[in-house]
Amino acid sequence: MTSRLGKGLEALIPIGNEATERNENTLTVAVDLIKPNKNQPRKVFDEEKLHELAASIRENGIIQPIVVSKNGNLFEIIAGERRLEASKLAGLKEVPVIIRKISEKESLQLAIIENIQREDLNDIEEALAYQQLSTQFNMTHVEIAHMMGKDRVTITNTMRLLKLEEDIQKMILDGAITAGHARAILQVEPLLQFKFAQYIAEKKLSVRKAEQESKKFGQDSKIRKKNEQDDYLIDTEKKLTQFFGAKIEIQGKKNKGKIVFSYKNERELNKLLELMLNE
């Protein structure tokens, strides 16, 4: 299958003279008998483009058959889900199909290839598809890159999008921000990432500007919080020192740390112990 994948969808979908020679493999099947590919990486259809394709199908019919695999009395799409959905919108009850026997892995690979070649996948869907290849079929980033005709860094960077929280991924899906902003967002501490993504969308920052802003985003609030925390600890140290009559030092932060008592002689130690025990 690897050699066929390297040739893209033409290896599966007959064109030109090959279509004439293999006409016997083309069947007409009721749309109700065709189910989506469970490995289909695309999660969102562009409704406007789908209606445009439906209008074209009404006018010209389906020029390129849908590629399917047979599963009992039903058929599962290998390539052409968008064409099937548009055919339903066009009112077609039957569509031409070509039946192929392939593995589940090959089915996923071809679904990804078809969508990426036609630029139908958004960045999050593409990242999820690569992740599925990686986790379900134990493919390395290098192997995925080779299969997709891309470099390894591109695959790795695309999959990094999945490190973002779901609300940020949704912003990318909705087009509020781009995948190009992800690198800048990932440079910000996790608790501030969604806020930064909203800031990028609100200010309509370019990717370059977002990368610059990421280096200082949230710094003012962190400095202010640290200063407030330091003031609290300093004030607490003073109160403890006055109460115990000895040098007291607080090491750590407001929510975690330790208190160090210092004494110069046995008398001061006994005084500290007496005050603690009495308390």
pLDDT in tens, 94-122: 999 988 887 777 777 776 766 665 556 78
Residue that the structure tokens 């020679």 belong to? 21
The per-residue pLDDT for 39 is 65
The per-residue pLDDT for 80 is 83
The per-residue pLDDT for 95 is 92
CATH topology of domain 2-104: 3.90.1530
CATH topology of domain 164-217: Arc Repressor Mutant, subunit A (1.10.10)
The per-residue pLDDT for 6 is 40
Global pTM reads 0.53
The per-residue pLDDT for 40 is 64
Examine domains 2-104 and 164-217 and report if their fold is the same. Answer: no
The per-residue pLDDT for 116 is 63
Q: Map out the domains of the chain as residue ranges.
A: 2-104, 164-217, 226-278
Q: DSSP of 73-87, one letter per residue?
A: TEEEEEE-HHHHHHH
pLDDT in tens, 186-223: 988 888 899 999 999 999 999 999 999 888 886 655 54
Q: Helices in the chain by DSSP H: which ranges?
A: 2-6, 17-21, 47-60, 81-89, 104-117, 123-136, 141-148, 152-159, 166-174, 182-186, 190-203, 207-214, 219-244, 266-278
**Weakly modelled stretches of the chain, pLDDT under 50:** 1-24, 223
Q: Which residues are identified as catalytic?
A: 81
Question: In a 10 Å sphere around its CB, with 0-12 CB exposed, 13-18 middle and 19+ buried, how is residue 77 labelled?
Answer: buried
Residues 6+ apart with CB under 8 A from 92: 31, 57, 62
The per-residue pLDDT for 227 is 54
The per-residue pLDDT for 115 is 63
Contact assessment for residue 75 and residue 33, using Cβ atoms and an 8 Å cutoff: yes
